[in-house]
């Protein structure tokens, strides 16, 4: 049994949205910096309009990325309790499996440190297992 995958998928989606948002911000800041440098030396009105249209497009993309990030974060938070329950359940099964392995090893006559086989009584069944 594996912990529920939806939390992992949601978490990966949120991480990807965060990275994309950071890229958009960086790209916008760099483009704006270059524009400011160019504008200081003089710029044609057409270039100014093109710049403004491009910045508006970037701003729209940034808003969309923020919305995706908020949605992905909400999905992560919504999936987290179920994922934690499944993870805890898996841990419980792993503990039970380890106990069962230890009991099986003991019941099969695993020699003690003095070399004699063990004879164990299984608590759950009350049966005695003789060493082989």
Residue whose entry in the numeric block shows the structure tokens 């934690």: 84
Strand partners, 75: none
SS3 category, 99: helix
* Pairing relationship of beta strands 128-129 and 120-121 according to DSSP bridges: antiparallel
**Structure confidence at residue 7 (pLDDT):** 55
Alpha carbon 131 to its chain's center: 47
Distance CA 81, CA 58 (A): 36
Which two three-digit tokens encode residue 71?
């949605």
pLDDT in tens, 64-88: 988 988 998 999 999 999 999 999 9
- Count structural domains, the chain: 1
Distance CA 2, CA 19 (A): 28
Confidence of residue 109 (pLDDT cuts 50, 70, 90): low
Residue whose entry in the numeric block shows the structure tokens 């916008």: 28
pLDDT in tens, 17-29: 667 667 777 888 8
pLDDT in tens, 3-60: 445 656 666 666 766 676 677 778 888 888 888 888 888 888 898 899 889 889 989 9
Residue whose entry in the numeric block shows the structure tokens 């969309």: 64
Which two three-digit tokens encode residue 14?
């949120």
Q: What is the pTM of this model?
A: 0.48
**Structure confidence at residue 14 (pLDDT):** 67
Strand partners, 121: 128
- Tell me which residue range forms the domain holding 105: 5-129
């Amino acid at each position: 049994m594996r912990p529920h995958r939806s939390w992992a998928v949601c978490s990966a989606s949120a991480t990807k949205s965060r990275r994309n948002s950071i890229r958009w911000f960086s790209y916008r800041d760099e483009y704006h910096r270059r524009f400011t440098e160019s504008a200081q030396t003089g710029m044609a009105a057409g270039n100014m309009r093109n710049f403004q249209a491009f910045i508006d497009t970037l701003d729209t993309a940034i808003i969309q990325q923020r919305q995706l990030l908020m949605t992905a974060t909400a999905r992560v938070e919504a999936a987290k309790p179920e994922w934690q329950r499944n993870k805890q359940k898996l841990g419980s099964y792993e503990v039970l499996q380890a106990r069962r392995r230890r009991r099986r090893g003991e019941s099969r006559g695993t020699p003690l440190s003095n070399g004699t086989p063990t004879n164990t009584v299984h608590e759950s069944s009350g049966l005695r297992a003789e060493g082989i």
